[in-house]
Chains A and B, each alone.
Chain A
Amino acid sequence: MRSRHSRTPDGTAPRAERLPDPPARLWRSAEPGRSYDVVIVGAGGHGLATAYYLAAEHGIRDVAVLERGWLAGGNMARNTTIIRSNYLLDESAALYGHALDLWERWPAELDYDFLLSQRGVLNLVHTEQEVRDARRRAFANGLNGIDAEFVGPDEVAALCPILDVSPDRRYPVLGATWQARAGIAKHDHVAWALATRASELGVDLIEQCEVTGFVTDGERVTGVRTSRGDIAAGRVGLAAAGRTSELTDILGWRIPLQSHPLQALVSELLEPVHPCVVMSNHVHVYCSQAHKGELVLGAGIDSYNGYGQRGSVQVIERQLAAALELFPIFARAHVIRTWAGVVDVTPDASPIIGPTPFEGLYVNCGWGTGGFKATPAAGRVFAHTVATGSPHPLAEPYGWERFRTGALIDEHGAAAVAH
């Protein structure tokens, strides 16, 4: 077992494992103003990161982030907190690789300890074809400067001793890709760090303010209609994840998105037993242990369109069966909570970032099941796109026009789970 999971001599968790005390008030809660240079719709990780970079890198501080519910209460509160960048295709590797670079910079830059834990990710393979695919992905990662390697069953067992790698399992572990720089971060604290810094830079964070429509002048968006009145805006950026097409529908713009429930669950608190992150596309589960001690498990999306923020019990049943296949040690752990986020999935499993057919309106959506890990890069490239009116170089391949030109970024194969 690794040292990060050991206890200090006085029996308390080591410093890096303790949660920071939440201060009473981290950011200003703002009333909606009449007009802003930029309005960002959605105060999740991506919206907050966008606002932070608009203020910090582009000097645009007259910014409002509007949130229909509460800050970071959507998918930011519902993900499995995993960070990795071992994607197959060049466009994805560049974007998620940039995100991982920024994750490493953020604790110092944001001056906030959100418990980034680079404990490594194993993507297990269970068939000969998956071995070939994983090797190919590791080689592709190497060419793109991403730290990933293929490891055999013995190395898998060394990295994660609680995994059952015996060859007589129904789905024996034939190996894995290992990305050592990957890991987890404390998602709520990431959002609070961003909200704190954005607020300090002058950004208005406005909760309980639902965008119900747009103010338009011909083909130009000049503001938003909200549950708390109209707000004029020089530019509007949508970072509303599963709700994006609800907004674009209002403008009569049909965007290639389908919203699905994506479920996760946690076990009761356990002693530190699980040293890294383990994902398996084949048996279909991913699992890590949170700083506090819960096992955090996710699987794939439910097949049907859904906005209910809850999913199907048979998905949970299958993911638990998959987890037990890999980790017999979990057999007596209790499930404490299950929940779902509403993820917006595109036909090529890659996000849509960039200008829209409407002048002054920009969109960041379609992250599917991969939004959390991308948060810093999504915010940075979207802020650039909104500030300059043209896509950041890393975001250029991700325009919505690709569905018309055919230049798709078909990243299904390198996603951790099928979606």
Chain B
Amino acid sequence: MLLIPCPWCGNRDEVEFRYGGQAQVPYPVDPTSLDDAAWADYLFVRDNHCGSYAERWVHADGCRRWFDVVRDTATNEFAP
């Protein structure tokens, strides 16, 4: 089980959280100008590498706030 560092509540067990996928994926600035390929990239494509990964979690059973952390997807270590 991951021990996830909630910035407001400190380290808490993974069961209190829900996963939100890759962090910092901005909504398109000018949505009407996007073609199908660009929409598909925005909707369906996320980074998926082995190693250091910025991702979102929500402390669903705690403070209920979203936050970003950096975790290594191979070792599960969180960056300080």
Contact = CB atoms under 8 A, between A and B. Distances in A.
* Residue among B1, B36, B53, B74 with most chain A CB within 10 A: B1
B11 interface: no
Interface in A305-330: 305-308, 312-314
A304 B2 contact: yes
Interface stretch (A94-102, A251-259, A286-294): A251-259
Contacts of A259: 48, 50, 73
A404 B37 contact: yes
A245 interface: yes
A306 B45 contact: no
B36 A305 contact: no
Given A303-B18, A306-B73, A313 B37 contact: no
B48 A245 contact: yes
Interface string A226-260: 00000000000000000101100100001111110
A314 B73 contact: no
Most chain B C-beta atoms within 10 Å of own C-beta, residue among A249, A254, A307: A307
Contacts of B21: 258, 305
Contacts of A257: 48
A47 to B, nearest CB: 19
Contacts of B47: 254
A28 to B, nearest CB: 31
Interface in A384-418: 403-406
A107 interface: no
B40 interface: yes
Interface in B1-54: 1-2, 13-15, 18-19, 21, 36-37, 40-41, 43-50, 53
A347 interface: yes
A305 B50 CA distance: 9
Kindly state the interface size class of chain B when it binds its partner.
Answer: 20 to 34
B1 A307 contact: no
Interface of chain A: mostly helix, strand, loop or mixed: loop
A279 B40 CA distance: 34
Contacts, number: 64
Given A304-B19, A312-B1, A249 B76 contact: no
B49 A314 contact: no
A210 to B, nearest CB: 12
B66 to A, nearest CB: 15
Nearest to A303: B19
Contact of B41 (A243, A254, A307): A254
B36 A256 contact: no
B41 to A, nearest CB: 7
B40 A314 contact: no
Contact of A258 (B2, B48, B50, B74): B48
Contact of B14 (A314, A347, A405, A406): A314
Given A254-B41, A303-B19, A306-B73, A314 B50 contact: no
A256 B44 contact: yes
Given A254-B45, A314-B1, A404 B40 contact: yes
Nearest to A313: B1
A257 B40 CA distance: 13
Nearest to A311: B1
B68 interface: no
A162 to B, nearest CB: 30
A360 B80 CA distance: 43
18 contacts: A245-B48, A256-B40, A256-B44, A256-B45, A257-B48, A258-B21, A258-B48, A259-B50, A304-B73, A307-B73, A307-B74, A313-B1, A314-B1, A314-B15, A403-B43, A403-B45, A404-B36, A404-B37
Interface of A: 243, 245-246, 249, 254-259, 303-308, 312-314, 347, 403-406
Interface of B: 1-2, 13-15, 18-19, 21, 36-37, 40-41, 43-50, 53, 55, 71, 73-76
